[in-house]
Amino acid sequence: MFKPVLLHKTGPQIAQEIQACIGCNECLLSCPALTEPITIDVLNCQTLSGAISPAVARFARSCYQCGACVDPCPVGLHRDAMMMLLKVRLLRSAWEE
C-alpha cells in the first residue's frame, strides 16, 4: 500500500506548468547536477508520461532539489517540483518491476 507523499505541487499542477514551459532552457543551464546533454523537449515529455530514458533517469536521480532551477525561470515555474515528480515516477516504476 502506498503511503501519502507530499509533493511540491500536485500532478495536474505540474502538468499545467509543463504546458506553460517556454523551453528557454534557463533551468537546465543553471543546474549544478546536470552532467550530460538533455534537451527540454525530451525532459518535459518524459516528466509527464511514458518511458523514461536512461539519461533522464540518471538526471532525475542526480537532482538533489537544490532549487537553483527555480529563480532563473522567466515564467515562474518550478522545475524542482517537476523533477520531484520524475523521481517519484522512477521509484514507482521500480516498485512495479
Partner 1 sequence: MSSHKSVPVPAYTRTGRPHLDSANIVIVGNGIAGVTAALEARRYMPNTRIVIITEQIHPTINTPALKQFVLGKLERDQLLAYPAGTERAERIHVVTARVAYIHARQKFVELDGGRGFGYEALLIATGSTPRGLPSHLPGRNFDGVLTLHRLQDYLDLRRRLHEVHEAAVIGGGPHAIETVMALLQRGIHVHWLIRSATLMPHVLDQHASEMVIARVRRAGASVYMETEAVGIMGRVGTVAGIVTKQKQLLPCQLVLTCTGTQPACTLAEHCDTPVHCERGILVDDQLRTSVPNVYAAGDVAALENPQTGIYETRAQWYAAVLQGRIAGAVMAGREAPESFGVQWHATHLGELSMLTVGNPLATGNGVTEMIDTSQGGYRRMTLVDNRLIGYLSLGATQPDSLAIKRIIDDGLAVHDITKALLRGSFDARKYLSQLRSRAAHSILIPQKGYVAVANPPSQVRLLPVTGPLAATEALAQEQGKAHSTQPLPERVQVDAYANSKDEVSPFAGNLPALPELVASGPAPSKRHSTPRKL
Interface residues with partner 1 (CB under 8 A) are: 2-20, 22-26, 29, 36-42, 44-46, 48-51, 53, 55-56, 71, 73-78, 85, 88-89, 92
Nearer to partner 1, 44 or 62 (CB): 44
Shortest Cβ distance from residue 90 to partner 1 (Å)? 13
Nearer to partner 1, 66 or 75 (CB): 75
CB 70 within 8 A of CB 17: no
Shortest Cβ distance from residue 64 to partner 1 (Å)? 19
3-state secondary structure of 15: helix
Contacts of residue 7, Cβ cutoff 8 Å, sequence gap at least 6: 14, 81, 84, 85, 88
Nearer to partner 1, 64 or 71 (CB): 71
Q: Long-range pairs for 51-57 at CB < 8 Å and ≥24 separation? A: 52/86, 52/89, 52/90, 52/93, 56/86, 57/90
Nearer to partner 1, 20 or 64 (CB): 20
